Structure 1
Amino acid sequence: MADDVRELLLSTTADADPSTPLSAPDLRLLIDRLRIRSDRLHASALSFASSHRAPLAAALLRAADSSASSSSLESSLASALAPLSSSPGLSDLRELSDRLLAARRELRERQEHLAAASSVADLAARLRAARASPDPLAAAAAAAELKPLLVDPEGSGSSQDEPVVFGLLRNDWEQLVDELQVMLAKNLEECVEFAPEGGKVMVRTAPVGKSGGTPGVELRVALQALEIIDAVDYGMTKLADLMIKHVLVPAISNISVAVSVEELEKSGPQYPISILCVTPTEELQGYKDGSALYSRIIDIIKFVCETICGENITWMQSFSKLTWSRISDLVIKHFISKAVPHEASKLIEFQDVVRSTTEFENTLRNMMFISHEKRDGKLTQFVDDVEVHFAVRKRNEILVKARHLLVHYDYDNPLDACLSSARVAKELCYAARDALLLYKAIVPVQLEKQLDSINQVAAIIHNDFYHLSQEILGLAFEYRADFPGDLQKLVVFVDLAPTFSQMADGVLTRQIQLVTANLIEAIDGADGFQNTHQPQHYESAKFSIEQVVFILEKIHIMWESILPRSIYKRSMCYILGSVFSRITKDMLLIDDMAAEETLQLQGLIHLALENLSSLFLSLVENEFLDHQTWIELDEIIRPLKKFRKLAELLDMSLKSITAAWESGELTNCGFTSSEVQNFVKAIFADSPLRKECLLWISRTPS
């Protein structure tokens, strides 16, 4: 609003500042301009009213009439309601209205109950009529008509508020259907008779006797009735089982058989009678590619379709659903699996079997016996995967051979893979891997007792694992160039090498642990080599050394001829080092030695070294234990140098020992300052010289 006012003022003063406050002259000017504009608007309104006088007058008249009508209606309504509001019988009128509504509601409910009772009575009557009907087709049709009325089509069951009578009717209907199924299935069994000895089936048009105490019906009628109540599979089940057992199994499992069909035309309700026989024959023509076998099966299926199913597609498909999977399994078991070649070079000859099998399934599809779905093409799928089946057979042969030989890997198998197709080669490579893994899984379990004791078998197993770990690394490189191109990148064995190497290390480590434990136990028998100047203690210590020598020599003889040179040398050096370290430690821990005792200990050390001479020589290339040989042995068995030096110390004077320490000779042999001091205290009596030497040893850095 302020902006509009200022606009009126600025329209005449263009140079005025919008932010400047209005003065008194400006306000008077503004009032004059507003008055002029108001006069203009008033004149414009009068002009519009005068030019539209008639429409405006009519609108005003209609508004007045509406107002008068509204007042009249209000008065009339008040007059009409006045008697009702003042009448004492208004509550009676309302009560009468409620009673009328209740009566109408009760009438409607009774009508509904009457309709339900009528429906129940009708359903019960129809059930009784169906049960009493001598015609199975009529009974089946009645049961089928009653099904949507009594059975929930969605299979969700009856609702909780359903009348009990409907549940009873449903039970009666289910019982009726069950009785029909049993009676009609029995009727089928009486129409189709199988010879007890097998190989023969007789199909009659109608049963000879009665089914369940009632006259039998024709085979065709029984199947029609079963179809109406959706129970063809139920009726066909036993018939299909008997057909497999008595006809199809003999026809498929035997090579020298023939199928023949005979028709008996005589008077009687059960005629004509069709007979199918599977009889022995000497003809084998065409069996190599399966054509004769497939021809027999087709003849049997045609017989069933024509004489039992009456070429009805629904009945044929029911019989197929109950039998085709088992027929396929029988053909695979007794023919196709046996026809799979044993050699890769003969796989091309299997194409005749592929062709005849494909034609066989196509014939059955044309007969509408099987569908075009993948699940019905079981035979074709099997023959198309012949290379896989060939490879699986080869693989199983390899694994069986591996179970017996275990250690000896069949190196001809990779060559077979090189000469085979990619699929076969792939399976053979997997077989080679499985053979290796089979060895890894079986041997440790089978030879568990040997691996948990010190024996030669454990060393052999170590060698096998070690050898396989080395061979595995080169398998792919040795044969990869000859493998099919698509398989070259997939031929991988190197991932198995670490596993076998770890197994080899594990076996050897376990043996070393067992040997070391036995050696430590033998050394413990010396009771720390104390008091050897006493005969009893000396004998115990000597026996302990002899036990140690015996165990070491046993391992020497057992391992040297089996283990690889480097592994044997490394393992024996480790064991000898642990033995010499333990004996040296025990002798240095003796806190007091008599003069005679030092000689006894020195003799025990020399006894051990002399008796282990052959073992020492097995670790070096020399033939004699000369000075150079001992130097070499000291290098590869570090504790040996300290052990040999201890023998010298036991016969050295105090000054010589001190001089050896000062020169660093003892340090080079592995002695520590505390060990030398304790050794001096144990051998030499307390004296000024001993104190001086001990002080000198303690001050001289090692």
Structure 2
Amino acid sequence: ELGSSAPSRSTRETTEPGRKGRSGRTACAVGELQVRLSKNVEECVDFAPEGGKVVVSATPKGHSDGSHGVELPVALQALEIIDALDYGMAKIADSMMKHILVPAISNIHVSVLVECGPEHTVSVLSVVHSEENKDNRDGSNLYSRIVDVIKFVCKFICMENSKWVQFFAKLTWPRISDLVITHFLSKAVPNEASKLIEFQDVVQSTTEFENKLRSMMFLLPDRKDGKLTQFVDDVEVHFAVRKRSEILVKARNILVQYDYDSPLESGDQGDSVVDLLFQPEKCFTSKSALLVMKLVHGALKDASLSSARVAKEFCFAARDVLLLYRAIVPVQLEKQFDSLSQVAAIVHNDFYHLSQEILGLAFQYRADFPSDLQKQVVFVDLAPIFSQMADAILRRQIQLTVDTISEAIDGAEGFQNTHQPQHYESAKFSIEQVVFILEKIRIMWESILPRSIYRKSMCNVLGSVFSRITRDMLLIDDMAAEETLQLQGLIHLALENLSSLFLSLVENNDGSTKFLDHDAWIQLDGILPSLKKFRKLAELLDMSLKSITSCWESGDLVRCGFTSSEVQNFIKAIFADSPLRKECLGWIVRTPA
């Protein structure tokens, strides 16, 4: 059954070659016709070799009687029938782009002129130079030139045939839109947020331009080919993203290029002393931090003047700048943080200053943000990050200072045997080293740190220093009379050489006072309990046994921070065993602190 339904082998062999032969001849004939018709179209549309001019004739060039060619619409109709319209129009479209549309779009001092012969037998379009003609900001003159060219094509080449017009559009519109974007729209994008509103004129003229092309059936009504409209609609976002990137590049360049090693050597250092936002104080801040904050304020000001889409990008840019500072500076200056450095104090100030500025951003700008962003955009979460970083840097410097001074005190070997010249010189050198380090820290910190932070930090260091020296001296278990005088002299040496430091800690000291008076010492004793004990120890080293006992009974020693065991051990170290010593020690044991 299968065999009876299928043609025989001999039948296939005799029929198929004939079929193939006819098919091949037909394809060849169609191909030849396609080429001849395309040539016919090209002869009807002639472009001047120098460019800027096209002449459209109703009949092919050189065949005015029509005997050897067909009229332009007939040729296009024939190409459509054989499904070769795109082939026939390809060269015309390329030439129209090269000789007419490119100069009409890329040059601003040109105009388009159209001339028509009798009964439209010959039509001419020229792109001519015109100094008087100049494109306006919204692009309407440019769009008008393009419309004139397309009108000419639609009327004299495509003969108002919508299908032919759309074929021509398919071959040219992608290139036309790219040229418009390159030569006009991309250059019209504003560089400042405040000018985005002016760009709405460009948006309107571009929309009107594409709508005009749709009315001419050059563009389809579904708006899928509205490339220019899409570009101008997205300009706000492109602008904002570009500005965000530019802001971050500026911030990075500031942070990477700034020289923290010599911030005080510049002649305009006075500009770097800024008022703290939430403290009635001033502090020295690096130009790096000031420039970064200037970028942040600039971004937020632009956000206040922008639409919600653009404002959001500007706000993110401001946050990114601050986070970039937090990421780069600590890593970049890590080596300086590992030693006693004025750079560390300045960077502490930077973080402290920025933490306060960040807290103020919401109050300063939020009310001006677009309503959609007022609850979304926050900065207050960044303030603790910067504040904690400032604290960490300063704590590290304080600890380094304390450790360095402790090493210097270690050289005194517990201040033992100072009645011996060698041991006394070691102890004296140790005290001088302590004074030198403290004075160095004072010079580094006093002109940099906010006053309240300077006083608190220096008191922290001094408290540790005086406590350590006092403890070491009180641990001496046996002191000769000469030794007590030597220890007292060392205490006085330290106090006298630290007078400038003490003065810097006195409240309301304007720098005019050169000596510490009674009121100043009372104030210092109040903020530095260990100093009060240190000074009292100098007095005890020159007091009689009864006087020491009386001081304990009166509570004076307790108020200075001495404990019962410390006083007892001190008496045992200085005074030899005697009935009076036993009696005094008994009084101290029985008298509550």
The answer for unaligned runs of 5 or more in structure 1 is: 1-106, 141-179, 208-217, 265-271
Give per-residue Cα distances to partners, 1:185-240, cap 9 Å, x unaligned.
x9999999999998688999999xxxxxxxxxx99599759957xx96x9999998
Q: 1:365-404 residue pairs with structure 2 within 5 A?
A: 365-380=214-229
One of 135, 138, 146 as aligned partner of 2:28: 135
How big is the shift at 1:573?
2.0
1-structure distance, mates of 2:467, 2:356: 34
2-structure distance, mates of 1:406, 1:112: 89
Which letter maps to 1:628? Answer: D
One of 394, 397, 400 as aligned partner of 1:517: 400
Contact 2:340 2:400 in 1 (8 A): no
How big is the shift at 1:576?
2.2
Distance 1:561 1:319, change over 3 A: farther
Distance 1:528 1:456, change over 3 A: closer
Q: 1:632 is matched with which residue? A: 523
Q: 2:109 is matched with which residue? A: 256
Q: 2:440 is matched with which residue? A: 554
Q: 2:461 is matched with which residue? A: 575
2-structure distance, mates of 1:454, 1:193: 83
Secondary structure of 2:220 counterpart: coil
Which letter maps to 1:256? Answer: H
Secondary structure of 2:449 counterpart: coil
Please say if 1:526 is aligned against 2:409. Answer: yes
Q: 1:372-521 residue pairs with structure 2 within 5 A?
A: 372-380=221-229, 405-408=291-294, 423-424=306-307, 427=310, 431=314, 434-435=317-318, 437-439=320-322, 441-442=324-325, 445=328, 448-449=332-333, 452=337, 454-456=340-342, 458-474=344-360, 477=363, 483=368, 487=371, 490-491=373-374, 495-497=378-380, 499-500=382-383, 502-521=385-404
Please say if 1:563 is aligned against 2:412. Answer: no
Contact 1:413 1:432 in 2 (8 A): yes
How big is the shift at 1:672?
4.3
Distance 1:701 1:119, change over 3 A: farther
How big is the shift at 1:281?
3.2
Distance 1:433 1:539, change over 3 A: farther
Which letter maps to 2:109? Answer: S
Q: 1:156 is matched with which residue? A: none
Distance 1:536 1:490, change over 3 A: farther
Q: 1:206-245 residue pairs with structure 2 within 5 A?
A: 224=80
How big is the shift at 1:364?
0.9
2-structure distance, mates of 1:572, 1:588: 24
Q: 1:668 is matched with which residue? A: 559
Q: 1:51-66 residue pairs with structure 2 within 5 A?
A: none
Secondary structure of 2:180 counterpart: helix
Please say if 1:292 is aligned against 2:141. Answer: yes
Which letter maps to 1:287? Answer: N
1-structure distance, mates of 2:195, 2:558: 77
The answer for unaligned runs of 5 or more in structure 2 is: 62-71, 255-290
Q: 1:77 is matched with which residue? A: none
How big is the shift at 1:460?
4.6
Give per-residue Cα distances to partners, 1:90-141, cap 9 Å, x unaligned.
xxxxxxxxxxxxxxxxx43x4577699989998897667655645374799x
- Give TM-score scaled by structure 2 length: 0.66
Greater fraction of residues in helix = 1
Which letter maps to 2:325? Answer: I
Distance 1:529 1:457, change over 3 A: closer
How big is the shift at 1:294?
0.6
1-structure distance, mates of 2:505, 2:94: 77
How big is the shift at 1:567?
2.5
Distance 1:521 1:391, change over 3 A: closer
1-structure distance, mates of 2:169, 2:142: 18
Distance 1:543 1:307, change over 3 A: farther
Contact 1:468 1:497 in 2 (8 A): no
1-structure distance, mates of 2:307, 2:18: 70
Secondary structure of 1:406 counterpart: helix
Bigger relative contact order (CA 8 A; separation at least 6): 2
One of 511, 536, 546 as aligned partner of 1:645: 536
Contact 1:130 1:139 in 2 (8 A): no
Q: 2:274 is matched with which residue? A: none
Give per-residue Cα distances to partners, 1:244-289, cap 9 Å, x unaligned.
677655433331234467999xxxxxxx999976554323256343
Contact 1:388 1:424 in 2 (8 A): no
Q: 1:67 is matched with which residue? A: none
Which letter maps to 1:607? Answer: L
How big is the shift at 1:370?
2.0
- Give TM-score scaled by structure 1 length: 0.57
Q: 1:362 is matched with which residue? A: 211
Which letter maps to 2:333? Answer: K
Please say if 1:604 is aligned against 2:453. Answer: no
How big is the shift at 1:517?
0.5
Q: Greater shift after overlay, 516-525 or 538-547? A: 538-547
Secondary structure of 2:333 counterpart: helix
How big is the shift at 1:556?
2.7
Which letter maps to 1:507? Answer: A
Which letter maps to 1:620? Answer: V
How big is the shift at 1:670?
3.2
2-structure distance, mates of 1:494, 1:342: 23
1-structure distance, mates of 2:130, 2:585: 111
Distance 1:536 1:335, change over 3 A: farther
2-structure distance, mates of 1:240, 1:438: 50
2-structure distance, mates of 1:597, 1:237: 111
Which letter maps to 1:645? Answer: K
Q: 1:26 is matched with which residue? A: none
2-structure distance, mates of 1:541, 1:632: 29
**Looking at CA atoms only, which structure, 1 or 2, has the larger radius of gyration?**
1
Secondary structure of 1:371 counterpart: coil
Which letter maps to 1:639? Answer: S
How big is the shift at 1:616?
1.5
Contact 2:344 2:397 in 1 (8 A): no
Distance 1:263 1:628, change over 3 A: same
Give per-residue Cα distances to partners, 1:389-435, cap 9 Å, x unaligned.
888898889878877633447979878887x5xx4488568647744
Q: 1:92 is matched with which residue? A: none
2-structure distance, mates of 1:551, 1:407: 34
Give per-residue Cα distances to partners, 1:305-353, cap 9 Å, x unaligned.
6788786656654664575455445434533454567789987766654
Q: 1:313-324 residue pairs with structure 2 within 5 A?
A: 317=166, 320=169, 324=173
Distance 1:137 1:312, change over 3 A: farther
